[in-house]
Homo-oligomer: A and B are copies of this chain.
Amino acid sequence: MKIALLGGTGDYGEGLALRWAHDTPHTVVIGSREQEKAEAKAQEYEQEVQGRGVETTIRGMSNVDAAAAADVTVLAVPPYHVSDTIEAISETLEEGDILVSPATGMKRDEDGFHYHRPGAGSVTRVAADAAPDTIPVVGAFHSLAAGRLADLDVELGIDTLLLADDEDAKDTVRELAESIDGVRPLDAGGIGNAAEVESITPLLINVAQNNDDAHDLGVQFR
């Protein structure tokens, strides 16, 4: 499968790109609003994976070209760029394509990080509202710490929660999640359940900041 990581030059996109390129036969494309930046990062990721003896080709493109090339497009962009990123790529999306939303809104105060719930109810819902009617959106990959994902020496052993109103799209993203070693996808239901899932991200930061030897935390349901 071809996976585009829009905003793939950031920490989070890097982690997912490296894992898919290293652990799976899927083709990874890095998207950025600046094509040159995407190309540079793609080359960097490719070298990192090839340096571990895994043959892979990672290409860098503009967000629009990356989405056009892909079957599954991951919106690894800040929450306030989810809508305009979808708008920018929407004409290139074809029936059968899937959008994945891993972003969460956060704000910070003196106690710690907090979920900043969008008026629409969740960032996943914002994405679903912005997407063309024929293109399903799946919420996933919220609770995977970027630093840990990007360090291929670290075994993950963590869960990720899936949210979608389209079961076929959810199945596809479940397979993509499962294809990363040490990631177990669990079904969290429809997009209406996204706020509680997106709330885990600030919680993980708070727990990491308040406990010794806890950083880049993930979560496991058991």
A residues whose Cβ falls under 8 Å from a Cβ of B? 109-115, 157-158, 161, 186-193, 195-197, 199-200, 202-204, 206-207, 209-211, 214, 217-222
Whether the Cβ atoms of A210 and B188 lie closer than 8 Å is yes
Whether the Cβ atoms of A210 and B196 lie closer than 8 Å is no
Interface of A is mostly: mixed
Whether the Cβ atoms of B196 and A109 lie closer than 8 Å is no
What is the count of identical protomers in the complex?
A: 2
Shortest CB distance A198–B (Å) = 9
Residues of B within 8 A of A190 (CB): 111-112
- When C-beta atoms are compared, the residue in chain B nearest to A197 turns out to be B203
Residues of B within 8 A of A195 (CB): 114-115, 199
Whether the Cβ atoms of A187 and B161 lie closer than 8 Å is no
A-B contact pairs, 13 of them (CB 8 A): A111-B189, A111-B192, A111-B193, A112-B193, A115-B199, A161-B203, A186-B214, A188-B207, A189-B206, A196-B199, A217-B221, A219-B221, A220-B221
